[in-house]
Amino acid sequence: MPSAIRHHRELSAKGLVVILVEAQGADEPTLEHFLWKTFPDNECFSCVGTSVPLPASDGIPHAGLIGVDGTLLWAGNPLENPKQVETLIETELAKVKKGWGDTADARKVRAALYGKRDLGAAAKLVAALPEGDERTALQGEVDARWASAKQAIETLKQQGSWLKAQAAAKDLLKGVAGHAEWTTEATTIVAGFDTDEAKAELAADKKLEKVVKMLRDKNLEGAPKALQAVLKGGAETKVGARAQKLLKALETPLGKS
Amino acid sequence: MNLRFHLLPLLLALPVAAQAAAVGNKAADCTFPAFLNGDGRQSLKEFFGQPVMIEQWGTH
């Protein structure tokens, strides 16, 4: 766990994604309470147990590194051979920055798409390529990234993370500059945060962020009262539902954990 | 007593396993439960283009 948290802290800005999957049957409230109590600095993607595409293991911790192109590069105990894993991560992060592929065109498109997160530039580069398999494949990657980015904003809103959703929408708008159709759509998405309903969600989320900061500062005792204050003004919002979930988590006994 | 009849309900209750990958092969897609600290992406394929470290760990 601490090494995963460190990897996330040091390398997520360069593109590394760290996903923590609890594998001993904890439910969501127990997991959330445990994480806040034990690892308040954890900012990795974290979820309850689920089936993941890694080779079977007879123990934990068990981990796998999936490369930029979806290939499983390594699997094993993350506490063994940490140097080997770090070298593999560095190699993959270099691909994020410089792009990868058999041709200079593919590398250029991927560097724009994944390294700079510039969907507009990537789309423009793809449009200039000759018709063929490479262009079709790269167009598919650009389209998938655009669709995923839009869906992620909706998911964040549904999950009650409106500040993150708004930031993602602004990033998306910035990232599609030069692509007229996507700019129009992204502008509409950003404008969607200016409605009364959205403003109520954002206001509630600002209050909730203060509670999250309390938790990061290890103030678990004061958090429930602060959460009640969030719920007083915004119980009916999506953010309120998230606050309610967090309150339930903090009230969940950890037992032997 | 046939052991299979005892194990069957347990086996049916297990989640459908994602296709286990071997090192060097493409990892099958999978959808994760709601993330704490997520960014709205919920399936492995949405992280294509970035290296992904998945760590299974325990709270006990």
DSSP secondary structure of chain A: -HHHHHHHHHHGGGT-EEEEEE-S---HHHHHHHHHHH-TT--SEEES----SS---SSSSEEEEE-TTSBEEEEE-TTSSHHHHHHHHHHHHHHHHH--SSSHHHHHHHIIIIIS--HHHHHHHHHTSPSSHHHHHHHHHHHHHHHHHHHHHHHHHHTT-HHHHHHHHHHHHHHTTT-HHHHHHHHHHHHGGGSHHHHHHHHHHHHHHHHHHHHHTT-TTTHHHHHHHHHHHHTTSHHHHHHHHHHHHHHS--TT-
Q: Say yes or no for a CB contact (<8 Å) between A159 and B36.
A: no
pLDDT at B10 over 60: no
The reported pLDDT for the residue numbered B18 is 62
Query: Does residue A114 belong to any structural domain of this protein?
Result: yes
A213 and A182: one domain? no
**What's the average model confidence in pLDDT over A32-54?**
96
Residues of B whose CB is below 8 A from A113: 49
Judged by CB atoms closer than 8 Å, whether chains meet at A19 and B28 is answered as no
Is A256 a member of any domain? no
CB spacing of A144 vs B45 below 8 angstroms:
yes
pLDDT at res. A257: 44
Could you tell me if A13 and A55 lie in one domain?
yes
Q: Final residue of a domain: which of A154, A169, A194? A: A194
Give the HSE-up count for residue A194: Cα atoms under 13 Å, Cβ half-sphere.
6
The alpha-carbon gap from B47 to the nearest alpha carbon of chain A, in Å, equals: 8
Q: Residue A27: pLDDT above 60?
A: yes
Residues A78 and A107 in one domain: no
Distance (Å, whole) CA A239 – CA A236: 8
Residue B17 pLDDT greater than 90, yes or no: no
Mark which of A95, A127, A161 sits at the end of a domain. Answer: A95
Q: Based on the structure, what is the number of domains in chain A?
A: 3
Residues A161 and A180 in one domain: yes
pTM: 0.92
Residues A126 and A154 in one domain: yes
Identify whether residues A150 and A84 lie together within a single domain: no
Contact B39 A152 (CB under 8 A): yes
DSSP symbol at B50: S
Between chains, do B48 and A68 touch, taking CB under 8 Å as contact?
A: yes
**C-alpha dihedral (A110, A116, A122, A128), degrees to nearest 10:** -90
In a domain, A219, yes or no: yes
Instruction: Give me the pLDDT at residue A256, please.
Output: 52
Crossing angle for the helix pair A238-251 and A223-234, to the nearest 10 degrees: 150
Beta bridge partners of B57: A22
Residues A152 and A204 in one domain: no
Chain B residues 5-44 with CB within 8 Å of chain A: 15-42, 44
Range of the domain at A59: 2-95
With an 8 Å Cβ cutoff, are A66 and B42 in contact?
A: no
Q: How confident is the model at residue B20 (pLDDT cuts 50, 70, 90)?
A: low
- Residue A83 in tokens: 């140097």
**pLDDT score at B21:** 79
The total of other beta-carbon atoms located within 10 Å of residue B5's CB is 8
* Nearest neighbour of A53 by CB, restricted to B18, B57, B60: B18
> Is the dihedral angle over the CA atoms A244, A245, A247, A248 positive or is it negative?
positive
DSSP code at position B37? T
Vertex A240, ends B35 and A255: CA angle to 5°? 55
CB pair distance less than 8 Å for A93 and B51: yes
Span of A13-22, A151-160, B13-22, B36-45 with lowest mean pLDDT = B13-22
- The minimal CB distance from A47 to the residues B35, B47, B52 is found for B35
B58 Cβ under 8 Å from any chain A Cβ: yes
ipTM: 0.94
Residues of chain A contacting B57 with CB distance shorter than 8 Å: 1, 4, 20-23, 60-61
Q: What are phi and psi of B35, to 5 degrees?
A: -90, 145
Does residue A61 have a cis peptide bond before it, meaning omega lies within 30 degrees of 0?
yes
Cα–Cα distance, A231 to A2 (Å, whole number): 33
Question: Residues A178, A226: one domain?
Answer: no
